[in-house]
Structure 1
Amino acid sequence: MIKKSVTIGLADGLEARPIAMLVQTATKFSSSVYLDVENKRVNAKSIMGVMSLGLLNGDSITIETNGEDEVGALEEIEKFLAGK
């Protein structure tokens, strides 16, 4: 299991389309992927869960991955959320 804090770098934050893209990215990996914000933890493979976070540009979030491809999952999701 690995964790990393990331600052959202998407100009419009996480709206419907970026959320769908994030969920698609997370689903490519067999590892579990969770997003933690304050006291809220959601599965990054759940579109409704990610939508419930209401993340905006500049918000800080912790990504947690666990599984055989956890490093790749963390790197790709971090890159997406950072807007790179």
Structure 2
Amino acid sequence: MFERRVTVASKVGLHARPAALLAKTAAAQPVTITIRKDGAEPVEAGSILGLMTLGAEHGDEVVLAAEGDGAEAALDEVAELVGSELD
């Protein structure tokens, strides 16, 4: 299992437009990616509803995880998006 810790850069957190962009990117990956805040259960990063219920706000650190062929590259792509200003 590979993991990446990333700080949410979007000023509105992972809500609405940023969540939709993240879900679309995560769902397009060859592996399933999960995302969680410390102390919380992981949700599927390819699910807009899951991302919205995560409640990740600007400045929160989240952990992305995936396993399998292509997991590292997939995590790099999704981590870059989470760490970008998406507003």
Structure 1 gaps, min length 5: none
Distance 2:69 2:7 in 1: 25
Whether 1:76 and 2:77 are equivalent positions in the alignment is yes
Q: State the aligned residue count.
A: 84
Which portions of structure 1, spanning 4 or more consecutive aligned residues, are displaced by more than 4 angstroms? none
Maintained 8 Å contact 2:15/2:51 = no
Match of 2:54 in 1: 53
Return the letter of the residue paired with 1:24.
Answer: K
How far apart are 1:20 and its partner, in Å? 0.6
TM-score (norm 2): 0.88
SS of aligned partner of 1:36: strand
Q: Which moved more, 1:74-83 or 1:33-42?
A: 33-42
| CA RMSD in angstroms, aligned pairs only | 1.2
Structure 2 gaps, min length 5: none
How far apart are 1:28 and its partner, in Å? 1.1
Bigger fraction of residues in strand: 1
Distance 1:70 1:47 in 2: 20
Q: Percent identity?
A: 31
